[in-house]
């Protein structure tokens, strides 16, 4: 789903091969979950007109990552099929009757509030249909700290806001472009965390909303050692952050929240 930036869904294994539907957990009136076609390609997730939530060719681990807003390296435990078997989901009803067009017209605050409510429904669906039980822990792991560079930031506070504000990323053959309109640093931090594969901690001290653009190569070289900022040939995301935004990603160790899988089952037949 374009609003929910990271997502994927696993579902019933046995009886739902036939595409049966069953009452869903809080917020969804009905949900159909079945294993994906093994020869199918690509993954999709979104909200169709009328508010029908759909996911295609996705894993349970990816769904957990989305629903609890953690990355793969923050998920601990669980069986092997968690990240292997793929499923299709169609969930209808409840308060999810919002189209993608309506979502795009929301302010960033409205979009974040909608996302938070929606993710709670997904969590409930997983808990109900997969007997999923999780808890959170904090561990000391490698992180990146986002700080202001020595020459200061290279973007300005936003005078915009309202519908259309937010953070977007477009990918093409030449690389990726990130654009923020009336966007908080917290939103930028989430995007950077997804791209660099570590938790990013904001230590910029920047408040309010900003407008900025940044482009970078998708071929990012990994950091060299645990204490160095990655330097890549071309515009890596690390050099782009520094040269185009006036910020800097510094590698450190710090507290990272980890989601521990306490129990999960393949759903039985309905």
- Per-residue pLDDT at 162: 60
pLDDT score for 156: 92
Please give the pLDDT value at position 1. Answer: 40
Closest-CA residue to 28 (of 108, 127, 107, 112): 127
Residue 94: per-residue pLDDT: 61
Listed in sequence order, the residues at least 6 apart from 147 whose beta carbon sits closer than 8 Å to its beta carbon are: 203, 204, 247, 248, 250
Per-10-residue mean pLDDT for the chain, 270 residues long? 33 26 60 84 74 83 90 92 89 65 78 83 85 95 96 89 75 87 92 91 95 82 40 71 96 95 78
Q: What's the distance, CA 136 to chain centroid?
A: 18
Q: What's the pLDDT tens digit per position in 220-240?
A: 444 444 333 333 344 799 999
Report d(CA 204, CA 120) in Å as an integer: 30
Looking at residue 256, its pLDDT comes to 93
pTM: 0.69
d(CA 148, CA 205) in angstroms, rounded, equals 8
Q: Please state the domain extents for the chain.
A: 15-131, 139-256
- Asked whether the CA dihedral 107, 91, 44, 135 is positive or negative, the reply is positive
Q: Are 3 and 102 in contact (CB under 8 A)?
A: no
């Amino acid at each position: 789903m374009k609003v929910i930036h990271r997502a994927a869904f696993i579902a019933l294994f046995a009886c739902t091969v036939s595409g049966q539907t069953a009452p869903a957990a809080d917020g969804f009136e009905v949900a159909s979950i079945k294993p994906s076609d093994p020869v199918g390609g690509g993954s999709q997730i979104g909200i169709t007109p009328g508010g029908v939530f759909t996911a295609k060719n996705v894993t349970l681990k990816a769904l957990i990552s989305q629903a609890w807003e953690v990355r793969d390296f923050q998920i601990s435990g669980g069986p092997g099929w968690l990240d292997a078997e793929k499923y299709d989901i169609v969930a209808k009803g409840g308060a999810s009757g919002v189209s993608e067009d309506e979502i795009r017209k929301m302010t960033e605050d409205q979009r974040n509030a909608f996302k938070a409510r929606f993710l709670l429904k997904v969590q409930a669906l997983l808990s109900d249909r997969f007997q999923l039980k999780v808890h959170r822990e904090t561990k000391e792991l490698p992180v990146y700290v986002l700080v202001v560079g020595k020459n200061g930031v290279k973007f300005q506070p936003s005078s915009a806001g309202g519908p259309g504000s937010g953070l977007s990323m477009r990918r093409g053959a030449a690389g990726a472009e990130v654009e923020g309109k009336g966007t908080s640093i917290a939103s930028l931090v989430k995007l950077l965390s997804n791209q660099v594969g570590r938790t990013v901690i904001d230590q910029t001290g920047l408040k309010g909303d900003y407008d900025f653009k940044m482009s970078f190569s998708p071929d990012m070289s990994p950091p060299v050692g645990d204490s160095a900022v990655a330097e890549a040939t071309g515009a890596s995301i690390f050099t782009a952050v520094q040269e185009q935004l006036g910020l800097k990603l510094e590698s450190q160790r710090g507290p990272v929240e980890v989601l521990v899988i306490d129990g999960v089952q393949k759903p039985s037949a309905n």
